[in-house]
Amino acid sequence: MMKKTYNIIVLLALIGLFWSCEDDDKVVLQQPESFVLNTPKYATGIYDLKNTETIEFTTSQPDYGFTAAAIYTVEVSLSEDFSEYVTLPGSYTTAKFRINAADLALALVGMHGVTEESDYPADPHPLYVRLSSALNNKNAGEVHSNVITLPLVKGYFALDPMVMPENMYIIGNVAGNWNWDGATVMIPVWGSPGKFWAMQYLGQTSDGANAEIKFNTEKDWNGNEFGFGQATVNANGTADPGASDSDGNVGIGNPGWYIVVMTTTISGRDFEYAVDFYPPYVQLQGETAGGNWDTTDEKYRFSIPELSLGADAPFISPPFTNTGEVRASIKLPGHEWWHTEFIVLNGKFEARGAGDDQERVIGNAGKKLYINFTTNSGKIE
């Protein structure tokens, strides 16, 4: 009897599961016309964005016909009809959330169209807010809430934080032939945001003209390229390139190979650049340099190619003193050698830059390291 009762219970459970699955199959996505964004409790007060960290909002979920994980974004406007509006950064998946007051302040600067602090509205003003809800990042089931009014929002002249450039390029008559596709990619100095270096051939062109160079943080003639007069030139460098103003370019009066170093600083809302030139010294380091680390000893220094050989000539190390890990670097004032180290992996020049320790390659005593800084290639033989 107990066994029969148990079988009946299992059968009833399976029938319930079957009907449940049938019901699930009948779930249909509804497209709601709107949903409710609640007016904050203290909406009649002044929202002083400069002295507020966050603003809290609550909402009811749109009726999609089933319980769905909606994604909410916040839209704000200076007009109630939302003829123009801005979507604030970030998205939310709960019915209660907080927006960043600094993000709103930054959006208001653009909405008011002001470029000077003196032009920013001094008095609090109305701001209109609505939510957009969607079921996924492709905006499936997108619907807008009602519009609420925050009568007294006091913004300020907020600005995006200044961030150091992550890239820097050299272009010139011998560096890419004024074509950004062939521009030199400068290498970040480890632990020094905004500081870059490159081993650069600055010999003469095929028609005998001296080298001229410019810089940019992008490979583009976008108006942000800079040269002589827009950067401090060789204030700290220890090599003399004979730099001069050549129609706004940095003209090189003393042709040669140079380590070119670009240092970026931030002054107010502007970047300031300093370009320095150093002798083209490349050093073996560590086991293959007699066990010496951070060395600048000439006997562990690479040979410098003759200018007559052109930009594609390799720098060649002295013979390795020992069998061991092959490590090399340039050496900049105020930096440890590994801040600017590099190696050759599978025939390719690989700089550490701002990254982690690199793979290791073993070189046998008596072998040499060859590096072509123009083609970013090399070998051990």
Structure confidence by residue, pLDDT tens digits, 349-374: 999 999 999 999 999 999 999 999 99
- Map out the domains of the chain as residue ranges: 46-154, 169-278, 283-380
Q: Provide CB contacts within 8 A for 7, sequence distance 6+.
A: none
pLDDT at 55: 95
The rounded distance, in Å, linking the Cα atoms of 362 and 325 is 4
Task: Please give the class, per CATH, of domain 169-278.
Answer: mainly beta
Give phi and psi for 232, each to the nearest 5: -75, 125
Question: The domain 46-154: what is its CATH number?
Answer: 2.60.40.10
Flag whether the pTM goes above 0.75.
no
User: What CATH topology corresponds to 283-380?
Assistant: Immunoglobulin-like (2.60.40)
Tokens, residue 153: 């929002």
Along the chain (381 residues), what's the average pLDDT of each consecutive run of 10 residues?
42 43 57 90 91 94 78 96 95 93 94 91 96 79 92 92 94 95 97 98 94 97 96 97 97 98 90 97 97 97 96 97 97 97 97 94 97 97 95
Q: Give one word for 316, left, alpha or beta, with left for phi > 0 and alpha for psi -120 to 50.
A: beta
pLDDT at 139: 64
Contact 16, 9 (CB under 8 A): no
